[in-house]
Amino acid sequence: MDFDTPEQHRHIVEAIERLCAPFDDAYWRARDEDGRFPDEFHAAMAASGWLGIAMPEAYGGAGLGIREAALMMHTIAATGAGMSGASAVHMNIFGLHPVVVHGSDEQKARWLPPLIAGRDRACFAVTEPNTGLNTLKLKTRAVRQGDHYVVTGQKVWISTAQVANKVLLLARTGDEGLSLFYTDLDRSTVAVHEIAKMGRKCVDSNELFIDGMKVPVADRIGEEGRGFDYILHGLNPERILIASEAVGLGRAALRKAAAYAGERVVFDRPIGQNQGIQHPLARNWMELEAAHLMAQKAAWLYDNGQPCGAEANAAKYLAGEACFRACEQAILTHGGMGYSKEFHVERYLREAWIPRLAPVSPQLILCFIAEKVLGLPKSY
């Protein structure tokens, strides 16, 4: 196994770091306070072609793999942009993967170029308030009427719906089957209510109330009733990307903590000289490194067409926990000043809850590993 960093990957990291440099701590703190979507950052990513990193070259993308996409997302978060920066472009990287895999040539030509160029913004509408992670029990219904469907239902925790003009929607099209659509977000038939939350304020989360939204049959991806199978193609990449973003955020927190520990002098010595400060930070480094390696393994497996469900889920779990502990320790290292917005680490900790909780709970990941890897009886 070769652990040398490919030259292409070094170039990706360097390019993303240069792009993110103008969007410094002050920028992300301001977006955290005013809640405005980071349009400038999104536009810069689009202008440089990064929104299509994992999209086919034939439609304006770079044609690279999830490994490169994960590296890009890690680098964004690690610059201090955290989950705010990563989430502003996250949907572009994984969300339309079912279109890439199962969409027709006409659909790809119609949908992918404007998304890559940043003209379209999409939200991912799967989760519902009364089903949670039990996706097969979704209640939102799409009833076909000639050349279109009429959709009625409710979705929750839908990111970027305040700024999106497109929606990737999973809805029931029969007693058993679910179908997947990518269509215009018609605000005359969809009420979008923002959810106030503790972190990542600039990338909105919402409830959607859908009442009679018309969706052309031409906007259905693949066959009717097979939508759940199609979104599975996006779930492992999403877990890998979330894991990489979490490691990046954790490393940003660790960098802040180590710098402060080296500069802060108490009792005539830097606090970083004390093992009570050193050891927790060293443990954070090891945990983040291990999570990063698992995420890289999962991405390699995915890009090489091999099963990666266990690795992708494990990466998400390990990274979420390691990120949270690193962000917590960054505040503890700063002491009382860690509670101040001046040092930014309190924002990191608030955002660290996101990869820990979403898109799947740590408990369900443990159930998955127990059942699928260890062969234990299903517990739910």
Cβ-based neighbour number of residue 354 at 10 Å: 28
Is pLDDT above 80 for 354? yes
Is pLDDT above 70 for 149? yes
Q: What is the pLDDT of residue 12?
A: 98
- Within 13 Å, how many C-alpha atoms sit on residue 286's CB side? 6
> Are 200 and 238 members of one domain?
no
Domain that holds residue 327: 228-373
Tens of pLDDT, residue by residue over 108-144, are 999 999 999 999 999 999 999 988 778 888 999 999 9
Residue 116 and residue 76: Cα distance in Å, rounded? 18
What do you get for the CA distance between the two ends of the chain, in Å?
38
> Are 104 and 211 members of one domain?
no
Is pLDDT above 80 for 176? no
> Are 134 and 11 members of one domain?
no
> Are 148 and 49 members of one domain?
no
Looking at 161, 195, 223, the residue that finishes a domain is 223
The number of distinct structural domains making up the chain is 3
**Where does residue 334 rank: exposed (0-12), middle (13-18), buried (19+ CB within 10 A)?**
buried
- We report the CATH number of the domain holding residue 208 as 2.40.110.10
Tens of pLDDT, residue by residue over 157-168, are 999 999 999 999
Residue 1 falls inside a structural domain: no
> Are 344 and 216 members of one domain?
no
Considering the entire predicted model, what is its pTM?
0.96
- As a whole number, mean pLDDT of residues 1-29 equals 94
Looking at 53, 87, 116, the residue that finishes a domain is 116
- We report the CATH number of the domain holding residue 313 as 1.20.140.10
> Are 76 and 155 members of one domain?
no
Q: What is the pLDDT of residue 122?
A: 95
User: How is residue 279 written in tokens?
Assistant: 């050891």
What angle, rounded to 10 degrees, do the helices at 345-357 and 82-94 form?
30
> Are 235 and 363 members of one domain?
yes
Pairing of strands 122-125, 166-172: parallel
Tens of pLDDT, residue by residue over 66-92, are 999 999 999 999 999 999 999 999 988
Is pLDDT above 70 for 225? yes
Of 9-23, 229-243, 256-270, 314-328, which gets the smallest average pLDDT? Answer: 229-243
Residue 379 falls inside a structural domain: no
> Are 56 and 158 members of one domain?
no
> Are 142 and 208 members of one domain?
yes
> Are 299 and 196 members of one domain?
no
> Are 278 and 350 members of one domain?
yes
> Are 130 and 195 members of one domain?
yes
Looking at 189, 223, 257, the residue that finishes a domain is 223
Residue 331 and residue 343: Cα distance in Å, rounded? 9
Residue 91 and residue 329: Cα distance in Å, rounded? 30
Q: What is the pLDDT of residue 232?
A: 82
Is pLDDT above 80 for 189? yes
